[in-house]
Amino acid sequence: METRTLRYFLAAAEELNLRKASGRLGIQKPPLSRAISNLELDVGTALFDRSGRRLRLTAAGEQLLRDARIILRLIDRAGVAARDAAVDVSPVIRLGVAGSGASRSVDRFLQALCRLVPSGNATTTELPTSLQVQLLLDGRLDAGIVIPPVDEPGLIVQPLWREPLVVLVPEHHALANEAALCSQQLAGEKLILPHPDFGSGSYQQIVEALIVDGKPPTADQYTFSRESSMALVGHGYGVAFVPSSLEIDKSAPVAVRPFAPPAPELQIAAAVRDDERATELLRLLNRACDEAGL
C-alpha cells in the first residue's frame, strides 16, 4: 500500500466526490478512480458504497480513513524530524497520546507540558496504545500517554492519573432518567466497548468494572474511537463508557450518567523506553501531570 495511494484515498474519502478529490489532488479523475479500485483489490473489500447518487464510505472505508490519517501524519512528521536532524534541531520529546479526543484532562496535561519544554520542541500525535507501544520500541516516539495494562519488555510504564468513568446512554433510554448507575443495572444492556486489539487497556479496565457476580460482560459492538462510540450510542445501538473529562457534544442525542460510588476509574500512564533517557522523560511527564493538577 503506497503513500500516494493513501493520499488519493484520503482526498476521496473526505470529499466523497471523485471530481472534487481529483481537483484537490491536481490529477485527472480516471487515474484517481483506478487507484481507488486497485486499493480496494489490495484491501480485499469495498471502501466506498457507490449505490447512491453520492459516494459513501463503507465500514471498512471509515476504518481505513482513521488509520490513513494517523499513518500520513506520522510520515509527514518523520520528514520534518529528518530535516530537523540535518540541522541538529531535534524535538525534546515526541509524544503519543491514547484516545485523547476532546479530553479536558489531556488538554490540561499537554498545555502544562508545552510550558515545560522549549517552544516548538514537543510534538504530540493521537495514537492507540497498541501503536504507541510499537513506535516506542522502534524509537519513533520518545514517550507515550497510554492506557494500561502494557506488559512489554523494553518499556517502563508509570501511572500518571486516574479518570472516573461515566456511562453514555441514548437520550430517550430508561437509564437516562437514573441519577447514577451501577454495574447490575447495565448487565442486560447492549454494550459498546473499545476494540480489544486497538484499545486493549480501555477494554480490560472497563470489562473489570462491569463484572457482576464473577461474570464478565460481553460486547455487542466494538469501536476504535470514542467518537464512534458516541455515534453508536446516539443511534440507539447500546451504551458506552468514556472518561468523565471527555467533552460531549451537547447536540448529540446521548445522555451522560455517572456511576454510583465508588465509580470505576480509568488509569492513565506514561510509557517510555528503558534506556538512558527514561528517568529524564518520566520526570518531565510527572512534573507536567502535577502542574496540570491531575
State how far the Cα of 193 lies from the Cα of 209, in Å rounded to an integer. Answer: 12
CB 184 within 8 A of CB 212: yes
Confidence at residue 251, expressed as pLDDT on a 0 to 100 scale = 78
Residue 97, C-beta contacts closer than 8 angstroms, at least 6 positions apart = 106, 110, 124, 125, 126, 127, 144, 145
**Domain limits for position 122:** 91-160+267-291
Q: Write the DSSP symbol of residue 175.
A: G
- Would you say residue 83 lies in a domain? no
Q: Is the pLDDT of residue 121 over 80?
A: no
Number of domains in the chain: 3
CATH number at residue 10: 1.10.10.10
Three-class SS of residue 121?
coil
- Of 67, 99, 122, which marks where a domain is finished? 67
Q: Is the pLDDT of residue 79 over 70?
A: no
- Would you say residue 77 lies in a domain? no
Q: 218-252: b or e for each residue (b if 16 or more CB lie within 10 Å)?
A: ebebbbbbbbbbbbbbbeebbbbbbbbbbebeeee
- Would you say residue 80 lies in a domain? no
For residues 135 and 190, membership in a common domain is answered with no
For residues 60 and 126, membership in a common domain is answered with no
Q: Using one digit for the tens of pLDDT, what is the confidence trace for 89-99? A: 444 688 988 86
For residues 246 and 287, membership in a common domain is answered with no
Confidence at residue 81, expressed as pLDDT on a 0 to 100 scale = 59
Element (H, E) at 238: none
CATH number at residue 156: 3.40.190.10
Beta-strand ranges (E) seen in the chain are 48-49, 56-57, 93-97, 122-126, 143-146, 155-170, 191-194, 221-223, 239-243, 254-258, 265-273
For residues 153 and 10, membership in a common domain is answered with no
State how far the Cα of 276 lies from the Cα of 278, in Å rounded to an integer. Answer: 6
For residues 126 and 252, membership in a common domain is answered with no
Q: Which of 67-71, 148-152, 220-224, 257-261 has the highest mean pLDDT?
A: 257-261
- Would you say residue 245 lies in a domain? yes
For residues 156 and 190, membership in a common domain is answered with no
- Would you say residue 74 lies in a domain? no
For residues 258 and 279, membership in a common domain is answered with no
- Would you say residue 169 lies in a domain? yes
Q: What are the backbone dihedrals phi and psi of residue 156, each rounded to the nearest 5 degrees, phi first?
A: -110, 125
- Would you say residue 121 lies in a domain? yes
Q: Which residue has the cell 519513533?
A: 140
The percentage of residues in the chain with a pLDDT greater than 90, rounded to a whole number, is 12
For residues 284 and 219, membership in a common domain is answered with no
For residues 237 and 145, membership in a common domain is answered with no
